[in-house]
Chain A
Amino acid sequence: MKNILLIIAVLATGIITQINAQKYITKTGKIEIFSETPLFVIDGVNKKVASILNSANGDIVASTLIRSFRFEEALVEEHFNENYLEPNKFPKAIFKGKISNFEGVDLGKDGTYDITIVGKLTIHGQTRDIEETGKIIVENGKISASTQFNVSLKEYHIKIEKAYKKAIKDEIKLNVHFDYKFYR
């Protein structure tokens, strides 16, 4: 009996390791946000973005805390937090989805692969379906992923006061970059 349990335990550990071995992770991903009007420049960066890529099926998750964004100007940072993103109520942004054309990506082979990312993006408590293009680059076995796309403030119920309507565009540019590491 003891032996059987032991065998099961060993097998289970083996299976778990195998599942884990199919995943890539980063805890130092980067999101840059940018918006410019003649009146105002919003230029922020968040270097604490986490993501896991499942190399078996192309599933991808990413998450970050709103408060980890840093801005060039302190005043913009204050407004971003207090007036617009409201991290007290909605502390994080999360993406859950997959690379829809993952069959065309060979993580074992160096190269640049065009990808399409499909899934649900949650910002400011609002979840929206998104479909964006991006790239996976495999170089010397190192995997990185990046995508650039715009989000509409209105769509995520982020309100801009009338006084700032002209100073802030509805479309904010996001620049996302992950350098993945093998997940033990």
Chain B
Amino acid sequence: MNKTIKNLLILAAIGLVIGLGVVYYIFNKPHRDVAGEKPSFKVEAKVLFKEYSANEMAGNEKYGDKVIQVTGKIVEIVKDSTEVSIVLNDEMEGVNCALNTKTVEENLNKINNFQVGDEVSLKGKCDGFDMIMGVVLTQCYLVK
């Protein structure tokens, strides 16, 4: 009798630990690690814009939600208090890359030295194509 109760208690304790573990996992599930992901494509900003503008659906099919690496000339740097976006390729045919806040903090000097006309490579998550912004990438990291 005593033994059965003891076993039941042990079982209950194990169950509780597993249950708490699952709950903890669900609510603390890590965000997608864009920095650690290998880019699915390495593409020139010019080519990326062309593909998307020619066929948005096909563009999304190929690049949508994927981590990609784009290379191109800077045409615009948009800064506000905490956010930095770098537009590549062309003002009207842009590839608009929002930098990850951590990247901005860690590379402040480098980013402040960026100038229109510089060629850079960025890695980020491709969110799609917008009529005003062009191709949009978010959570972007600088590629050396």
Contact = CB atoms under 8 A, between A and B. Distances in A.
Interface of A: 25, 27-28, 47-48, 50-52, 61, 63-68, 70, 73-75, 77-78, 81, 87-88, 91-92, 179
Contacts of A25: 132
A138 B31 CA distance: 38
23 contacts: A27-B87, A28-B78, A48-B96, A50-B133, A52-B132, A63-B130, A63-B132, A65-B127, A65-B129, A67-B65, A67-B128, A70-B138, A73-B29, A74-B32, A75-B26, A75-B27, A75-B29, A78-B29, A87-B128, A88-B60, A91-B56, A91-B64, A92-B128
B30 A48 contact: no
Given A67-B138, A91-B60, 19 more contacts: A27-B87, A27-B96, A27-B133, A48-B96, A48-B133, A50-B131, A50-B132, A50-B133, A52-B132, A63-B130, A65-B128, A65-B136, A66-B128, A67-B64, A73-B27, A75-B29, A87-B64, A87-B128, A179-B80
A61 B131 CA distance: 11
Contacts of A73: 27, 29
A88 B85 CA distance: 24
A64 B26 CA distance: 28
Interface of chain B, helix or strand or loop or mixed?
mixed
B25 to A, nearest CB: 9
B29 A68 contact: no
Interface in B82-100: 83, 85, 87, 96, 98
B127 to A, nearest CB: 4
A50 B132 CA distance: 6
Given A50-B130, A92-B130, A68 B138 contact: yes
Nearest to A184: B91
Contacts of A50: 130-133
A27 B132 contact: yes
A81 B85 CA distance: 23
Given A27-B132, A28-B80, A67 B125 contact: yes
A61 B130 CA distance: 12
Interface string B116-139: 000000000101111111001010
Name, among A51, A64, A91, A92, the residue most crowded by chain B CB atoms within 10 Å (CB to CB): A91
